């Protein structure tokens, strides 16, 4: 039985259909990477998995439990087994790094302060951020915030990790660092994960399978090598990073000769 | 043409019902969440500090100013009828029954209600409230309950502070400026008052505190639209809670004076 089972998931906001009959299954310990253009419904997919949104039709099941049918209490129990890393980290800005990472532990575990401190230090160590525990989120760089977000997500030892565009807006070096941390977490914790990213390099490193959302539909979900070889014109255009092709709804501006552009 | 008018009226009624229903559901969830575990004592103490201790200067200054102005008006008015002695009695009645609770409520809706709306609004647009949900924490319990409890306890207490300051505001004018006897003022201020009046003032403070916290948290929780939304939430919170404070003041007065 898949750990995460997305079945015929559809979601629309007013007239705009964001997801249309999406089917995805993620097995235990597997790492799925979801690619897609901006507005293709990737984040909406994660928010449905977390139960932050309710599907219009279809359902999401986590470990066999249909998320939309759970009571608030049962939903919170399921959420304790899922770690969510937000695109912009979503750290609690009134708290220090330590308090952010310790938040879930204090709410859900009867641990002593020493045990909490040890676990927070362990989590911060895993993301390479020791000795930052007294800092406030405003004092951190974008990459550091994401990593604190990772530490907060793994503090409760979740079985599932969801990463929402963890590298967006970061420089290439920090993007690589984040990619390595996700790989480390995958190997050290053995968690099932879904990663949404635009960064193809990390996508092929992280993913056991790669899915692609296009205009609300899942047009591919396969192993990295097969995905690269997929002849679908949208996938090939996405992999090339070319503006010309069926990917964009509105035609892109005409391509200029580089010499002409610099003149 | 006529259909369009009915259409607009219908849409407005539906919109208002929807908004009120949303507020009622969230308020109900907040009251239920008071009795749920875990109880976050540290968070509650922080709210007592920001809602209560930090509001004392504002309440003291506004209560002093309003009670002094009211005393000036009373002294002037009663002088027309050679009934200056009544000024301190009416001052006491007005401060205890109306001025202290309403001024405290209105000032705190501006100070703490707007702060709650801005804080929760920022948390909403920066996904911090979603992060709470993902960390298996009910935002209503974590964010609404401490603010609601702190407000419901602190606003009545600050109302009592306001009554005390109101006494001294009237004293400054009626004794210090108008030359009434300090002994007579101290006696007359309480002459028309009964314990019931203090109880009414405390009840009003309790209801106003509830309105301030629930409206502030609700407006913040429902913030959308980024910076513009965060900017609008406190304004909307102050206007709505002030309006409800004044409306509920009328009904509470009618109800509790019977």
- Written in H, E and C, the secondary structure of B9-30 is HHHHHHHHHHHHHHHHHHHHHH
Buried-exposed string B73-96: b where 16+ CB fall within 10 A, e elsewhere: ebbeebeeeeebeebbbbbbbbbb
pLDDT for A130: 83
- What's the rounded Cα separation, in Å, for the pair B114 and B104? 14
- Contact of A134 with A181, CB cutoff 8 Å: no
Q: Is residue B172 part of a domain?
A: yes
Predicted confidence band at B39 (pLDDT cuts at 50, 70, 90)? Answer: confident
Q: Do A107 and B126 touch (CB under 8 A)?
A: no
Distance from CA of B137 to the nearest CA of A (A): 7
ipTM: 0.88
Mean of the per-residue pLDDT values of chain A: 88
Domain, as residue range, for B179: 57-257
Q: Which helix (H) or strand (E) holds A145?
A: helix A142-154
Q: Is residue B237 part of a domain?
A: yes
| pLDDT above 80 (res B35) | yes
Encode pLDDT of B226-244 as tens digits.
888 999 999 999 999 999 9
Predicted confidence band at A262 (pLDDT cuts at 50, 70, 90)? Answer: low
Predicted confidence band at B43 (pLDDT cuts at 50, 70, 90)? Answer: confident
Predicted confidence band at A258 (pLDDT cuts at 50, 70, 90)? Answer: low
- Chosen for mutation from A49, A71, A72, A92 (greatest number of chain B CBs closer than 10 Å) is A92
Q: Is residue B46 part of a domain?
A: no
> How many domains does the structure of chain B reveal?
1
Q: Do B136 and A93 touch (CB under 8 A)?
A: no
**Distance from the Cα of residue B79 to its chain's centroid:** 34
β-bridge mates for residue A148, sequence order: none
Q: Do B134 and A76 touch (CB under 8 A)?
A: no
Contacts of A207 (CB under 8 A, 6+ apart): A31, A32, A33, A195, A224
**Polymer length in residues for chain B:** 258
pLDDT for A189: 80
Q: Is residue B9 part of a domain?
A: no
Q: Is residue B248 part of a domain?
A: yes
Q: Do B128 and A90 touch (CB under 8 A)?
A: yes
| pLDDT above 70 (res A261) | no
Place of tokens 């009373």: B74
Nearest CB among A51, A72, A88 relative to B127 is that of A88
pLDDT for B79: 87
Q: Is residue B8 part of a domain?
A: no
- Contact of B83 with B219, CB cutoff 8 Å: no
- What's the rounded Cα separation, in Å, for the pair A247 and A238? 7
- B 27-66 residues with CB < 8 A to A: 38
| pLDDT above 80 (res A263) | no
Half-sphere exposure of residue B100: CA atoms within 13 angstroms, side-chain side: 33
Encode pLDDT of B80-117 as tens digits.
888 878 888 999 999 999 999 999 999 999 999 999 99
Encode pLDDT of A28-54 as tens digits.
989 999 998 888 888 999 999 999 999
pLDDT for A260: 65
| DSSP one-letter string for A227-247 | HHH---HHHHHHHHT-SSSSS
Instruction: Report the DSSP pairing between strands A16-26 and A209-214.
Output: unpaired
Could you tell me if residue B194 is left (phi over 0), alpha (psi between -120 and 50 degrees) or otherwise beta?
beta
Q: Do A90 and B136 touch (CB under 8 A)?
A: no
Nearest CB among B38, B123, B134 relative to A79 is that of B134
Record the tokens describing residue A177, joined without a space: 């660092």
| pLDDT above 80 (res B132) | yes
| pLDDT above 90 (res A179) | no
Nearest CB among A52, A77, A90 relative to B126 is that of A90
Average pLDDT (B132-158) is: 94
Classify A10 as helix, strand or coil: strand
- Smallest CA–CA distance from A50 into chain B, residue: B134
Picking from A186-200, B195-209, B224-238, which range would have the lowest pLDDT averaged per residue?
A186-200
pLDDT for B41: 83
Q: Do A104 and B136 touch (CB under 8 A)?
A: yes
Q: Is residue B195 part of a domain?
A: yes
Q: Is residue B42 part of a domain?
A: no
Average pLDDT (A138-167) is: 89
Predicted confidence band at B192 (pLDDT cuts at 50, 70, 90)? Answer: confident
Encode pLDDT of A116-139 as tens digits.
999 999 889 888 888 888 999 999
Q: With CA atoms as reference, report the closest residue to A94 among B112, B47, B230.
A: B47
- Chosen for mutation from B134, B138, B146, B226 (greatest number of chain A CBs closer than 10 Å) is B134
Distance from CA of A104 to the nearest CA of B (A): 6
More confident residue, A41 or B162: B162
Q: With CA atoms as reference, report the closest residue to B256 among B199, B195, B191.
A: B199
pLDDT for B257: 79
Predicted confidence band at A157 (pLDDT cuts at 50, 70, 90)? Answer: confident
């Amino acid at each position: 039985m898949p750990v995460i089972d997305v079945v015929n998931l559809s979601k629309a906001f007013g007239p705009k259909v964001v997801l249309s009959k999406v089917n995805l299954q993620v097995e235990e310990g597997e790492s799925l990477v979801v690619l897609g253009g901006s507005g293709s419904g990737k984040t909406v997919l994660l928010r449905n998995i977390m139960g932050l949104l309710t599907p219009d039709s279809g359902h999401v099941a986590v470990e066999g439990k249909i998320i939309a049918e759970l009571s608030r209490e049962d939903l919170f129990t399921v959420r304790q087994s899922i770690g969510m890393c937000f695109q912009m980290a979503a750290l609690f800005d009134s708290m220090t790094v330590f308090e952010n990472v310790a938040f879930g532990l204090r709410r859900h575990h009867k641990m002593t302060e020493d045990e909490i401190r040890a676990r927070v230090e362990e989590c911060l160590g895993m993301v390479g951020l020791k000795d930052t525990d007294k800092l406030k989120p405003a004092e951190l760089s974008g990459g550091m915030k994401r990593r604190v977000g990772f530490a907060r997500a793994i503090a409760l030892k979740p079985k599932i990790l969801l990463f929402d565009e963890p590298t967006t807006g970061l420089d290439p070096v920090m993007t690589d660092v984040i990619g390595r941390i996700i790989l480390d977490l995958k190997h050290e914790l053995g968690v099932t994960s879904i990663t949404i990213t635009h960064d193809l390099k990390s996508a092929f490193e992280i993913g056991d399978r790669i899915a692609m959302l296009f205009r609300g539909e899942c047009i591919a979900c396969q192993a990295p090598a097969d995905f690269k070889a997929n002849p679908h014109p949208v996938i090939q255009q996405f992999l090339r990073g070319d503006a010309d092709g069926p990917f964009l709804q509105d035609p892109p501006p005409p391509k200029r000769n580089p010499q002409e552009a610099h003149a | 043409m006529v259909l369009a008018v009915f259409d607009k009226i219908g849409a407005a009624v539906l919109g208002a019902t929807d908004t009120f229903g949303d507020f009622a559901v969230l308020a109900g969830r907040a009251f239920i969440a008071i009795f749920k575990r875990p109880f976050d004592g540290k968070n509650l103490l922080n709210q007592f500090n920001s809602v209560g201790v930090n509001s004392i200067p504002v309440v003291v200054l506004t209560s002093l100013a309003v009670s002094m102005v009211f005393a000036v008006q009373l002294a002037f008015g009663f002088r027309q009828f050679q009934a200056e002695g009544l000024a301190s009695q009416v001052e006491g009645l007005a401060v205890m029954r109306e001025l202290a609770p309403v001024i405290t409520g209105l000032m705190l809706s501006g100070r703490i209600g707007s702060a709650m709306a801005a804080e929760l609004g920022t948390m909403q647009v920066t996904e911090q409230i979603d992060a709470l949900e993902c960390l298996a924490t009910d935002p209503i319990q974590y964010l609404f309950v401490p603010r609601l409890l702190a407000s419901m306890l602190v606003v009545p207490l600050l109302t009592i502070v306001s009554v005390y300051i109101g006494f001294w505001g009237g004293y400054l004018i009626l004794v210090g400026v108008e030359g009434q006897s300090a002994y007579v003022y101290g006696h007359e201020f309480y002459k028309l008052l009964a314990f019931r009046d203090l109880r009414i003032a405390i009840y009003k403070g309790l209801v106003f505190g509830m309105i301030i916290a629930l409206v502030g948290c609700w407006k913040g929780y429902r913030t959308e639209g980024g910076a513009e939304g965060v900017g609008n939430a406190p304004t909307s919170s102050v206007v709505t809670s002030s309006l409800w404070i004044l409306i509920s003041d009328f009904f509470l007065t009618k109800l509790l004076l019977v």
